[in-house]
Structure 1
Amino acid sequence: MEHTEDTVESAGGLKLYYQAWRPPGQPRTAVAIIHGIGEHSGRFKNIVDYLVARGHAVYALDLRGHGRSPGQRGHLMSWSEYREDVKAFLGRISTREPGRPLFLYGHSMGGLVVLDYVLRHPEGLSGTIISGPPFESVGVATPLLVASARILSRLWPTFALDVPLEAEALCRDRERITQYLGDPLVHRRCSVRWAAEALDAGAWVKAHAAELRLPLLLLHGEEDRINTAAGTRRFFESVSYPDKTLHLVPGGYHEPHSDPGYEQVLQRVEEHLLSHMPEAARP
C-alpha cells in the first residue's frame, strides 16, 4: 500500500489537507471519503485497509475547520464552502486517477455534504455511498442547539457551541471509542452559523431527494443513537432513481465501518463499487 499526504486549494485560498492510499499497480476504482462533524481523514482505517487490499484507491479529505485543514473548528459561513471543498478534492483525484471510476463516500455529516453536492453536480461520478446520515438527529441536534443556532447565526456567526455527541454511541468497539476520545485532531465544537447551515442543507437535501440521479448505497446501523435509521429509511423511500440500495445493519451503531462485523458492511460497499464499474473493467 502506498500512502501519500498533500493539500489542495479550495475557495478562499484555503489549503485543505488530504491523504491517499493506493494499491500496487492500477486501482480498480477511486473512492473519495468525506468525514463527519468534528472528525478527520484519519478515522477510516478499516475502510482503507479493506478496499485497498482489494485493489481500490482511497482518498480522504479534511474539510475546512477540521483535522489538519485550516479554519475555525466546526465553522463555515455558507454550506456552499463545503461544495467548493468537495469540488476541489474531486478535481485533484480525477487528475491523479484519470479515467478511473470515481465514487463519493460520505459518513454522518459528510453524508449530508456528499448528497448536497451530488444533487447539484453528479457529473464525473460513478456512484455514491452514504453512511449514517443526519436526516433525524437525536444525539446532536438538541432543541437548545437548534434554537441557539437560529437566533445567533446572523448576530454572532462564529460563536461556538459544544456538540453533545455521546462517544459510546459511535460503535460497539471499546478500543475505537478510546481512540476517538484521545484523538487530538477530533473536536466537539461547532459554530452557530455551521449549525444553521447544516439544518438548512438537511432540509434542502430531503426536499430534493427525488432529483438524485446517481447509483446510491445507503448504510445505517439500526441502533444508531446519534442519527436515526428511520430518517435514512424515509429518505431512501423519497429517492425515485431506481439504482438505489438500503442496507440497515442489525444491532449497528453510528459507525458501521467501526462496529464488530464491519467486514460484512464493507463487502456491501465493494459490491457497490464493482457493480458500477464499466463492464470491460469488472473482475
Structure 2
Amino acid sequence: MDLTEHTMISWDGAELFYRAWIPPKAKGKALLLFHRGHEHSGRWKETVDLLGLEDVSVFAWDARGHGRSSGKRGAAGNFADVVKDVDAFVRHISERYSVALGNTIMLAHSLGAISLLAWVHDYAPPIRAMILATAALRVRLYVPFAIPILRLKQKLIGAGYVTSYVKAKMLTHDPAQAVQYDADALIFRQIAVNVLLDLHDTARRLLADAGAIHTPTLMLGAGKDWVVSLGAQRQFFDKLSSSVKQMIVSPNAYHAIFQEKDRRAIVRQVRDFIIERFAQPLVTPSFLYADQIGYTRDEYERLSRPGGVKFAVARAGLKAAGRLSNGVDLGWRNGFDSGLSLDYVYKNQPHGTTSVGRLIDKSYLNSIGWRGIRQRRTHLEKSLKNAIERTHRNGRPVRILDIAAGPGRYVLETLRMCLEIPVSAILRDYKQENIDAARALAQEFGLDNVKVQRGDAFDRGSLASIEPRATIGIVSGLYELFSSNDAVLNSLGGLADAIEPGGYLIYTNQPWHPQMEFIARVLRNREGRPWIMRRRTTAEMDQLVRASGFEKIDMEVDQWGMFTVSIARRVLSLNNHAC
C-alpha cells in the first residue's frame, strides 16, 4: 500500500496531521490507529506493513501537540480536548473516505487507548470493534504520592511538564528498535501536568464504568510492562459488557508491544481479530429495555437499598450546613433537583449566614456535580444558539418549545443573544413556582415573544396539540430524574408530534456521575424522597431518541464525562424501531 500524508482541521481549528494507507482493493472498511503518548503516526508504519490488509484502508493520526500536528508539544487544554479530537478525526475519515462507522475498527496503544476509550464510553459510536494495546488504565508512577504532589504543584505554581522516566530499553527487548526510539526527533518525552492528571482521572472513571461499554474488544497486555498496570487492564476486561471480548497477554513483552522482538506474532493476532470482526455481521444490542434489565438497572436497585451509618452522618451534617448556607437550605426545602435549586446553581453566587455560611455555600456550589451542571448549561446555550441560527439560515421560522423549562434561564438568556433573529418560544413546566419564576425573568429581560404555561412533559396528547408546531424542541435535565424508559418514550413521542419534520431536538443525558451513591443516600428530591437516579448510557439515550423519530447529528460532553447535550433532527417519517 502506498503511504500518503494529509491534514485536517479539528473542532477548535487545530490542524491535525495523519497518514493514510489505502489499498487498491479498498472496500469501504477502515482501521484507525492511535499512537502511544509522546509518539506519532510514523511509528505505525511497520505494523501496517505486517498487517497486510488488502481491502481495509488504514489511517493513523498525530495527536495534537505530537508529531507533525499543531499545538504546544505534549500539551492540550485538557484531556477532553483530545477526546473531541478523536471524534473530529473519526468524522473526517468517515465523511472524506465514505466509510461508515459500522465498518470501522480502532486500534489504540497506551495513552491513545484511553482517549479512544473515553470517546467510545462518552459518545457511544456504533463502530465495528476496538483493539486496546497495553492500555494506560493505571500508569505506574514510582514516585510516592505523585498524583497529590502534581495536583498541588499545578494549583500553586501553574502549568508545567513531567519528563518521562521511561528509557527505550524499558519499552522493548529489541536493541534496534530502542535505537530508533532514541533517535526519533518527533518523539517528545515530556507530558503536560494537566494532561497527565486528566489522564489519571479519566482512566479511573473508565475503569469504574467499564460495564457501560458493549463494543467488541480485543485487549493486548504485556507481562513485563514497566509503564502501565496489567492488573488494571485485567480488571477493565472483566467488567466490560461486550458480548465479544478477548484478552491476550504476551508474558515476556515490555510495554511497546508493536516494537517488541515477537511483534510479528502480536500483529498476527490483531490481524486475525480484524478479519474475523469484518467477516461477522454488525450487531448492535438494544437498550430500549435497559430500565428493566442490565448494568444501570442493577446499579439503580443497589442504590435503592438503605445505606450505612456514614451516609446518615453525612445527611445530618448537610442539614446542619443548611442553617448557614442558602444553597443547601434551598435544596432541603425545595429538593436538590428542583428548578429553583438549579437556577441557584446557574447563578453561582455564594450566599449564607455569616462568612462561614458563605464559605460553605461556595464549597457546595463548587462540587463536581454542580460544576458539570454549569458546563451543561454552557453547552445548552451553544447548541440552542446554533440551532436558532441554522433554522433561520434555512429560511424556516424559529419556534422554540421547552417542555420542562424550570425557571427557563438558559433559554431566556440565549434569546437575549439572538435579538436580531425573529424567535417565538413556549416554556412549559408543571410547577407553579417555576412558571412564576420564568415569567418574571422573561419580563426582566424584556422578552415579549415568550409564552410560559403549565404543562406535563409526559402527556403526549398535550404536547401533540401545541400549535403551531415547533422547529426547535428542548428537553433538559428531565429524563435523568426518571428511571422508566416507557415514560421517556411517551414524552419523546409527544415531542416528535410537536416538532416539524426537519426540526431539531436538543436533549440532555447523564451517562456518568462520580457521586451517584452520595446523592442517593444523602440528598432529597423535589418530592421529599431520596434522590435516586438511574443513569442512561449514551447508547441507551440515543436509541430512545432514534426510536421516537429523530436522528442524532451532534453532541457535547463536559470534561468529566458526566453530562451530555445532543442535537437530533426530526426525520420526515416516524419510524419506531429499536436500533
Same fold (TM over 0.5): yes
Partner of 1:183: 184
Task: Flag the 1:75–1:156 CA change in 2: closer, same or farther, 3 A.
Answer: farther
Larger deviation, residues 18-27 vs 217-226: 18-27
Asked if 2 retains the 8 angstrom alpha-carbon contact of 1:173 and 1:259, the reply is: yes
Asked if 2 retains the 8 angstrom alpha-carbon contact of 1:106 and 1:130, the reply is: yes
Post-superposition shift, 1:52?
Answer: 3.7
Partner of 2:69: 69
SS at match of 2:191: strand
How far apart are the structure 2 equivalents of 1:32 and 1:245?
19
SS at match of 2:20: strand
How large is the RMSD of aligned CA atoms in angstroms? Answer: 2.0
Q: Structure 1 length normalisation: TM-score?
A: 0.92
Partner of 1:149: 150
Post-superposition shift, 1:28?
Answer: 6.8
Q: Report the identity percentage.
A: 27
Which is helix-richer, 1 or 2? 2
Residue 174 (1) aligns with residue 175 (2)? yes
The code of the aligned residue for 2:49 comes to D
Asked if 1 retains the 8 angstrom alpha-carbon contact of 2:214 and 2:240, the reply is: no
Larger deviation, residues 109-118 vs 160-169: 160-169
Partner of 2:194: 193
Partner of 1:104: 106
How far apart are the structure 2 equivalents of 1:142 and 1:178?
27
Task: Flag the 1:79–1:6 CA change in 2: closer, same or farther, 3 A.
Answer: same
Q: Structure 2 length normalisation: TM-score?
A: 0.46
How far apart are the structure 1 equivalents of 2:262 and 2:233?
21
Per-residue CA distance 1:141-177 (angstroms, 9 max, x = gap): 6436423421133455431221212221111111111
How far apart are the structure 1 equivalents of 2:212 and 2:70?
33
SS at match of 1:6: strand
How far apart are the structure 1 equivalents of 2:55 and 2:279?
15
Post-superposition shift, 1:248?
Answer: 0.4
Partner of 2:239: 238
Partner of 2:203: 202
Partner of 2:230: 229
Larger deviation, residues 193-202 vs 95-104: 95-104
Task: Flag the 1:142–1:90 CA change in 2: closer, same or farther, 3 A.
Answer: farther
Partner of 1:81: 81
Asked if 2 retains the 8 angstrom alpha-carbon contact of 1:8 and 1:15, the reply is: yes
SS at match of 1:185: coil
Larger radius of gyration: 2
Partner of 1:14: 14
Asked if 1 retains the 8 angstrom alpha-carbon contact of 2:30 and 2:99, the reply is: no
Per-residue CA distance 1:100-150 (angstroms, 9 max, x = gap): 710111101001111111112232410100001112322x56436423421
Post-superposition shift, 1:252?
Answer: 1.0
Task: Flag the 1:125–1:280 CA change in 2: closer, same or farther, 3 A.
Answer: closer
How far apart are the structure 1 equivalents of 2:54 and 2:278?
14
Partner of 2:139: 137
Q: Unaligned 5+ residue runs, structure 2?
A: 283-579
How far apart are the structure 1 equivalents of 2:104 and 2:157?
39
SS at match of 2:12: helix
Indicate the structure whose relative CO is greater, using CA pairs within 8 Å and at least 6 residues apart.
Answer: 1
Partner of 1:213: 214
Asked if 1 retains the 8 angstrom alpha-carbon contact of 2:207 and 2:235, the reply is: no
How far apart are the structure 2 equivalents of 1:149 and 1:195?
9
Asked if 1 retains the 8 angstrom alpha-carbon contact of 2:133 and 2:221, the reply is: yes
Q: Unaligned 5+ residue runs, structure 1?
A: none
